[in-house]
Amino acid sequence: MAKVRGAIVVDVEKCKGCGLCVVACPSKVIDLAKEVNGKGYNYAYMANPDACIGCANCAIVCPDTVITVYKVNTEANV
Amino acid sequence: MDVKDIIKEENLVYGKTKLLTDNIMHYCPGCTHGVVHKVLAEVIDEMGIQEKTIGVAPVGCSVLAYNYIDIDWHEAAHGRAPALATAINRLYPDKYVFTYQGDGDLASIGTAEIIHACNRGENIVVIFINNGIYGMTGGQMAPTSILDMPTSTTPYGRKVELNGYPLKITDLIAQLPGTCYVTRQSGHTPAAVRKLKKAITKAFENVGKKKGTSFIEVVSTCNSGWKLSPVKANEWMVEHMFPFYPIGDFKDE
Amino acid sequence: MADYKLMKGNEAIAEAAIRCGCDAYFGYPITPQSEVLETLMARKPWDETGMIVLQAESEVAAINMVYGGAGCGKKVMTSSSSPGISLKQEGISYIAGAELPCLIVNVVRGGPGLGTIQPAQSDYFQSVKGGGHGDYRLIVLAPASVQEMYDFVNLGFELAFKYRNPALILSDGVIGQMMEKVQLGSYKPRLTNEEIVARYGSWATTGKTHDRPRNIITSLDLDPYRQEQFNLKLQKKYREIEEKEVRFEKIACDDAEYLLVAYGSASRICQKAVDLAREKGIKVGLLRPITLFPYPTKAIREMLGQVKGILAVEMSAGQMVEDVRLAVDGKVKVEHFGRMGGVIATPNEVVAALEEKIIKG
């Protein structure tokens, strides 16, 4: 039924793993990785990419502006 | 549909404004400063006023704000940003001058400067980050620390007998006829950030209309100073700070 | 045709500011310099030249307004008297640390603390040796007449912009309050914003344009090695100022066997003392430092083969005398004579001190 699909790109090396995006996501797409980046932070990533609706809530609350958001209307493609 | 088919330039809906530099912010993970910096940069970018905007950031965690937003900046002594902004505004009346101050800065050491700049109705924007604590120096009590709030100088919580009452400076500022727009916002949820952006946009538009001082308090977190995780800090802010510092407009003339 | 006017020293400061193209004055009332702000307000220079005059909420705010105005490339100034100048020290240190040009006027009164409202010269250390925190210097000019009060406003700004360093006019209640004939200069236009961008666009916060990186006015550098390099750069600048900008006046020094060293109003008393002493057959000269930083060390040193002793005369417990002693390096006798707390020495007292402390002693 998903008419829109979204995806995020996290600038892994700039992410500080604060986790604010995780709670801001209405679709539970994001989680913090078990791996760490160069600064030792568990960075954010799309754990559940299929659920992303490209709402950009994660990027809006991100204090370090490390999330870029993309969105397509899948219905229009049908 | 594969993720890599979605991640294409034509599908971009949200990215970093070019007014934010590529420097990694020195703020702690989850710090509200980052959110406010971002919103501020977006507003300046979207209004197309980069060449006309001059920021003044005094001592405090945001003393290095000049590393992050690509505009001309002044670093000011603790509390004195409104005095600098007064001069810049008077000397360049067509510029968009703003101060970016923390609670220790604005509501303690710089109380005289902020009150008088607002009372003169300087045509500037004041962004006031209130997290109830001195962040940069290591989490000491601020004038805005709420009662019973533990800090490094009130380890058993702020007590009236010893420390007096928390200062609702924005309530005072709203009484001053020089101010045209006084509001209290936050940046902890997507909806709050959107409202904050509207408030900052309105404040900068007020400068263009030469309406006087626009004052935006942002109730913020300091998870390092509060000794909470970023997510828990937001929850603590909602539970403890918001009842004392309720969100909303004081004045919009 | 020359334009002459009888005016107070403080009024001369205000008049000179307007005529030299000053962009803004930020002040706060304090005796004995309030006429600077009052004169400017009465003159309404904003109608005439566009100059801004603002009464700040405190001396602290006034100097920080200067800091803001100087950072955006404008020609800005403030004035005060001793207790107010103490309050300004924080801002002065920031301005020096950010390498900004500005002009500060101190019409000195007696201290310490609230002290008195009468004239004194007890702020020499504060003006010349630092005042605020950190290793910095001000360019310090010491006027001895109302004409020099007027002239040094323009000179102070010129030196401040030449070296991107705050300049201070160290006056006192005598020079600030007394009236003398002043030859006024012609009006110099204020710089336009375009001219400011052309001249100071490499550092001033005139608004970031696409053709340059953002300009940042700051005195902060958390990297100790860079901060040390910056301090070395400041020191190099101060050495250059010492090399090029020393100003002094010598009176009756050609045949002098004794030397008085005095600046500002004390130098005027000493001028009379020289006459009185010479009537008594004492060959004494006067060296008047006009710049207190840079100090006329070499000029004093050059007198050493000639004079048998030096008396430093100041309205203080003896501050400048330390710089005289540094210049002399123990080669001749150096003593200090001064009155304090707002008391002004008479020429006869100076002659008596010269005889007592230098000639007999």
Class of the domain covering C3-184: alpha beta
Pair C78, C26: CB distance under 8 Å: yes
In the 8-state DSSP scheme, what is residue B137? T
DSSP state of B109: I
Summarize pLDDT for C157-183 with one digit per residue, the tens.
999 999 999 999 999 999 999 999 999
| Tokens found for residue C124 | 């020499």
Answer whether residue A77 shows pLDDT above 60: no
10 Å Cβ neighbour count for B51? 14
Instruction: Map residue C268 onto helix, strand or coil.
Output: helix
Closest partner residue to B54 (CB to CB) among C64, C91, C207 is C207
Chain B residues closer than 8 Å to C52 by CB? 90-91
In this complex, is the C-beta atom of A61 within 8 Å of any C-beta atom belonging to chain B? yes
Averaged pLDDT of chain B? 97
The bridge status of strand C258-261 relative to strand C309-313 is parallel
State the first-to-last Cα distance of chain A, in angstroms, to the nearest integer.
Answer: 12
- Sheet of C333-337: strand order equals C248-251, C284-289, C258-261, C309-313, C333-337
Q: Look at A64 and B34 and tell me if their CB atoms are within 8 Å.
A: yes
Are C134 and C96 a contacting pair, CB within 8 Å? yes
Neighbours of chain A (3+ CB pairs under 8 A): B
For chain C, residues classed under CATH 3.40.50.970 are 3-184
Domain C248-360 has CATH 3.20.20.120: no
From the number of C-beta atoms within 10 Å of its C-beta (0-12, 13-18, 19+), residue C359 rates as middle
Nearest CA in chain B to C90: B77
Task: Name the nearest CA neighbour of B80 among B57, B62, B97, B103.
Answer: B57
The pLDDT-based confidence of C266 (bands split at 50, 70, 90) is very high
Please list every residue in chain A whose beta carbon sits closer than 8 Å to the beta carbon of residue B69: none
Residues A14-39 pLDDT 10s: 999 999 999 999 999 999 999 999 99
Subunits next to C (3 or more Cβ pairs <8 Å) are: B
pLDDT in the model for residue A74: 81
B238 touching chain C per CB within 8 A: no
All structural domains of chain B, each given as residue ranges with its CATH number in brackets, are 31-246 (3.40.50.970)
For the segment C277-297, the average pLDDT, to the nearest whole number, is 98
- CATH numbers and ranges of domains, chain A: 4-77 (3.30.70.20)
- ipTM of the complex in this document: 0.97
pLDDT, tens digit, for every residue of C213-242? Answer: 999 999 999 999 999 999 999 999 999 999
Q: Is the pLDDT score of C153 beyond 90? A: yes
Q: Looking at beta carbons, which residues of chain B come within 8 Å of C66?
A: 87
A55, A63, A74 ranked by CB distance to B30: nearest: A63
**Contact call for residues C285 and C252 (beta carbons, < 8 A):** yes
**Interface contact B71-C208, CB threshold 8 A:** yes
Q: How confident is the model at residue C361 (pLDDT cuts 50, 70, 90)?
A: confident
